Amino acid sequence: MSAARGRSRTSGTTRFILLAAVIGVLLAFAVMVYRNSNAEVAAAPDFDGDGTGSALLQVEAGDTLAVVGDRLYDLGTVASTRAFTGAAAGTTVEGIQPGYYQVREEMSAASAVETLADPESRVGFIEVKPGGRLLDTVVVGGGTEKGIFTLIAEATCLRDLETPENPPMCRLPQEIVDAAVQADPVTLGVPEWAINEVRSAPDPVRRLEGLVAPGVHNVNPQSEPVEILRQLIDSSTASYDATGLVPSAQRIGLTPYQVVTAASLVEKEGALEDFDKIARVILNRLAEPMRLQFDSTVNYALADQEIATTDADRGAVTPWNTYAMDGLPYGPIGSPGLDALRAMENPAEGRWKYFVTIDMQGTTRFADEYPEHERYQSEAIANGVLSSGR
């Protein structure tokens, strides 16, 4: 063995010893960091128990657990964000929905997580169904469908968390109605394309009909009724305008308010697959001109409603009854969904002027001429679709 090779082996051994020492130091440092990190998590400040009082948490779209924890900390609900995120990890609260939640102050992190997971804690939640109306609707042979004014009032309910046996504190529906009737339309956020019609509406209680779009809305239950209505109308106007409402109205020869009105008829008169055909029937009849004669417009002014209408009902002159008046009703007869609105903006091509639902499954037949429509009407009567339960 040469001297050169001996020196190489000795040098390699030294480097190995030095490398092992460095690795040992790094491992020791990592263990220390890990222990300190765990100790820090374990020591995250936390309250004990279920808390006291009441606070209102707002969760916005895109909020992470850390952001929610920060808001809870700012409210005085949890003692630290770290305690909350640690307790919430792996629970359903990780996917918490945007909205408002009623919580307490000085809650343990575990109790805060349990409260947020409880559906009863969510407040300010409004779900408007397509075709929903401002006022409650009594259905013949059925129950009562809650109107938007009632839904808003219920969304303002806050529980007495100190004495849960007490009834919740809520706004009355009449308070919402009063705000809708008395506040200036500009203050309520009514869009420019509807402002004149709202101001001159024949029934002030219904003047905001159709301006609150279907869907899920989250409102601050502590807000004043005017503020709540403005928020709902602002967000609804944005969703309507996003469909291209204003330029579409110009293209089909109607005003934007008339398009929303016509879309509310489409929503009430048929199923989704027929929306664009019903829209075409409306435009074809307006172009003739001939009366629309839609039963949904007759029903709108009635105290109780069903598919069939009586001769007396159809003969009653109201601002909405299209049997007794030419053209469109004065305004919307409900809240049109975006599908109905888009159908009105983009109607199917056809010469239809008549349609009728012929069975309980919702099958609808369209006709160009009245004799054909009469045959379909006979089929509908035979199937009991047009029978009245009044």
Q: What's the pLDDT at 139?
A: 85
Which candidate, 96, 151, 103, 155, places its Cα nearest to that of 125?
155
Confidence (pTM): 0.85
CA distances from 94 to 72, 90, 104, 113, 118 (A): 15, 7, 19, 10, 13
Burial per residue of 315-346, b for 16 or more beta-carbon CB atoms within 10 angstroms, e otherwise: eeebbbbbbbbeebbbbbbbbbbbbbbbbbbe
Q: Is the pLDDT of residue 10 over 50?
A: no
How high does pLDDT run on average in the chain?
89
Report the pLDDT value the prediction gives residue 373, as an integer from 0 to 100. Answer: 94
Where in 238-383 does DSSP place strands (E)? Answer: 304-305, 354-357, 364-367
pLDDT tens by residue, 159-184:
999 888 899 999 999 999 999 999 99
Q: What pLDDT was estimated at residue 143?
A: 86
pLDDT at 8 over 50: no
State yes or no: pLDDT of 304 exceeds 90: no
Mean pLDDT for 358-380 is 92
Domains recognised in the chain with CATH numbers: 52-123 (3.30.1490.480), 126-239 (no CATH), 243-382 (no CATH)
Using one digit for the tens of pLDDT, what is the confidence trace for 78-100?
999 999 999 999 999 989 999 99
User: What ranges make up the beta strands (E) of 231-375?
Assistant: 304-305, 354-357, 364-367
| pLDDT band, residue 56 (cuts 50/70/90) | very high
Q: Is it the case that residue 6 has pLDDT exceeding 70?
A: no
pLDDT of residue 314: 93
pLDDT single digits (tens) 121-144: 999 999 999 999 999 999 887 789
pLDDT band at 237 (very low <50, low <70, confident <90, very high): very high
User: Does the pLDDT at position 68 exceed 60?
Assistant: yes
| pLDDT of 390 higher than 90 | no
Tell me: pLDDT of 116 over 80.
yes
Which of 29-43, 306-320, 342-356 is the most confident on average? Answer: 342-356
Q: Quick one: average pLDDT of 7-30?
A: 50
The percentage of the chain sitting over the pLDDT mark of 70, rounded to a whole number, equals 88
Report the C-alpha gap between 220 and 317 in whole angstroms. 40
pLDDT of residue 154 exceeding 80, the answer is yes
Q: Which has the higher per-residue pLDDT, 30 or 198?
A: 198
